[in-house]
A and B are shown apart, each in its own frame.
Chain A
Amino acid sequence: MWQVLKSVLAAFFGVQKDQQRKKDFEEGRPTAFIIVGLLMALVLVVGIFLLATTAAE
């Protein structure tokens, strides 16, 4: 699970080592990546929103 999160974060940043990417594609389950990816997208939106609220005060 930790590895899935790490890979998703790497994808969000846009950079990942080729080896790890190959491992993910061969061993990981796509559903896990999709669910964590969607959750992280939500976290990103909420995060930016909180940042904007803080900055507006």
Chain B
Amino acid sequence: MAPKLPPQQPLQTPAEQGNDGAATAGHVNEGYHHGPSGLMRWLLTTNHKEIGTLYLIFSLSMFFIGGIFALVVRAELFQPGLQLVQPEFFNQMTTMHGLIMVFGAVMPGFVGLANWMIPLQVGAPDMALPRLNNFSFWLLPVAFTLLLSTLLMPGGGPNFGWTFYAPLSTTYAPPSTTFFILSLHIAGISSILGAINIIATILNMRAPGMRMMDMPLFVWTWLITAFLLIAVMPVLAGVITMMLMDINFGTSFFNAAGGGDPVMFQHIFWFFGHPEVYIMILPAFGIVSAIIPTFARKRLFGYASMVYATSSIAILSFLVWAHHMFAVGLPLVAELFFMYTTMLIAVPTGVKVFNWIATLFQGSISFETPMLFALAFVVLFTIGGFSGLMLAIAPADFQYHDTYFVVAHFHYVLVPGAVFAIMAAVYYWLPKWTGHYPNERLGRWHFWTSVIGVNLTFFPMHFSGLAGMPRRIPDYALQFADFNMASSIGALLFGTSQLLFVLMIIKCVRGGEKAPAKAWEGAEDLEWTVPSPAPLHTFDTPPQFHHREG
């Protein structure tokens, strides 16, 4: 599917798009851009805006594939008993849903936004390493084609959960696991290269006059996220390589019979996995910190403390991994250590929420769609934070662990958290990308159906978990039936309402109310100084940045 969005020109008619011949109008305008056209243009592009678009389209496609898997899971759980799928396939669906959403939808979504917006926000002409940028994107379709193809292999795809605990994922795994490992390796390389590129861009290519403490928070949060990525993706690569050795070369890293330790797998996985959780939420903090001041028409409260809080969260994220393992039989000292560090993380996270609310206080607030999503983020992410605080209490975690309460918790921080932030960002920056405002009516419909759907899906999971329903089961006892039926109905509503999102994007690309350079009245950052839609090449001459005083 060739993306129909050449960002360098306003789209006049679909007919003109069809003949994207050797010399389109856009290319003529850009005297020195002599790239290939058609499919090869997208395959070989080194332009940060085009690569950003590719990432976002990829992320959206994966969001739908992962969403369909989730709907299979929810359909089976609509009623007690096995109706639609057998447990083998059910386990593959839960596993693939998690893997695709984490590695295929949320992470590439944020990288796409980073590609588009970081150069624009720091006043750079492009990413620091454009060819590497192209390579890191095109690794992703390879990785995920490979991953999805395992579903068709004998023995089926990965069926051991997205956390793939050994030895279920080694000795007891289907033969396709080796392909799963290779695909994660490729996705991991893509992430590392992307992170290197982002760091190089932010540290070296800021506009003259822009100091670190002048950078927009989206840039700050991504800088910290990129360091986290570089720190932990090699850990993931290490653990899956150990799995590979255990499966194919007779080692016993995680096989107790050979002197290995299955718990060591969990330690290594979560040493990657917990910072990974913050990789999926820190850029969201940056997005919300851009949107709320814009629509409150008031400067972000506590900019410096936002930067400090982000750094604190990043550092603490390396010290809390074993709170995912309170029930594996850790020594008492370890339980206490990880309980205390986990509780500490609540402080910087709370500070962020307080800062957003203080920004709203005495503002001049309007409620365009990006703002609606950002506000829903603040409320619903905070609810996810509350359940996180409850989970931090180690004794209580023995009751919560591996139940639907945990499922409710991490979906609250990831769906109305990370995913809503990405959607808010899309609504916020679409005028810059396409030159048109998104359709406000469609946006509102999409927003309200999503909010209702998300809460109907995930709120009852708190109750089913507390009532005793374990996660990752294809069938359940009768007392959980009502909660599950509500969740399934909510999931269907949330899933189908995303079609409105796609419809809105298509309409916005094709036309709509024209947006000026500064599309939102209260917007302040550098991206709003270039025309809408942003031409293919921006900031060829670095802008002079004037930081705000007082």
Q: Which of the 9-residue segments B282-290, B301-309, B535-543 touches chain A?
A: B301-309
Q: How many angstroms between the C-alpha atoms of A15 and B222 in the bound complex?
A: 21
Q: Is the CB of A18 within 8 A of B304?
A: yes
**Chain B interfacial residues counted at CB < 8 A:** 22
Q: Return 12 A-B CB contacts under 8 Å, by A number.
A: A14-B305, A14-B348, A15-B305, A21-B304, A25-B211, A25-B213, A45-B319, A48-B344, A51-B336, A52-B336, A56-B332, A56-B336
Given contacts A14-B312, A14-B351, A41-B315, contact A55 B336 (CB under 8 A): yes
Q: Which residues of A contact B311 (CB under 8 A)?
A: 11
Min Cβ gap B548→A in Å is 12
Cα distance A35–B336 when bound, in Å?
28
Contact of A48 among B312, B315, B341 (CB under 8 A): B341
| Shortest Cβ gap from B91 to chain A (Å) | 37
Interface bin, chain A: 10 to 19
Chain A contact residues: helix, strand, loop or mixed: helix
Query: Across the two chains, which residue of chain B brings its CB closest to A18?
Result: B304
**Is B312 a contact partner of A52 (Cβ separation < 8 A)?**
no
Taking a contact as CB atoms closer than 8 A, the residue among A12, A18, A25, A53 that contacts B312 in the complex is A12
Please, which residue of chain A has its CB at the minimum distance from the CB of B312? A14
User: Are the CB atoms of B213 and A21 closer together than 8 Å?
Assistant: yes
Least Cβ–Cβ distance between B325 and chain A, in angstroms: 16
List 11 additional A-B contacts (Cβ < 8 Å) besides A14-B347, A21-B213.
A12-B308, A12-B312, A14-B308, A14-B312, A21-B304, A25-B211, A48-B341, A52-B333, A52-B340, A55-B336, A56-B332
Which residues of B in the span 329-362 have a Cβ within 8 Å of any Cβ on A?
332-334, 336-337, 340-341, 344, 347-348, 351
* Complex: A52 Cα to B312 Cα, angstroms: 20
Given contacts A14-B351, A21-B213, A21-B304, is CB(A56)–CB(B340) below 8 Å? no
Q: Which residues of chain A have C-beta atoms less than 8 A from B315's C-beta? A: 41
A18 to B390, CA, bound (A): 34
A53 to B331, CA, bound (A): 11
**Per-residue 0/1 for B495-508: is the Cβ within 8 Å of any A Cβ (1 yes, 0 no)?**
00000000000000
Nearest residue, chain A, Cβ from B304 = A21
Shortest distance from the beta carbon of B433 to any chain A beta carbon, whole Å: 34
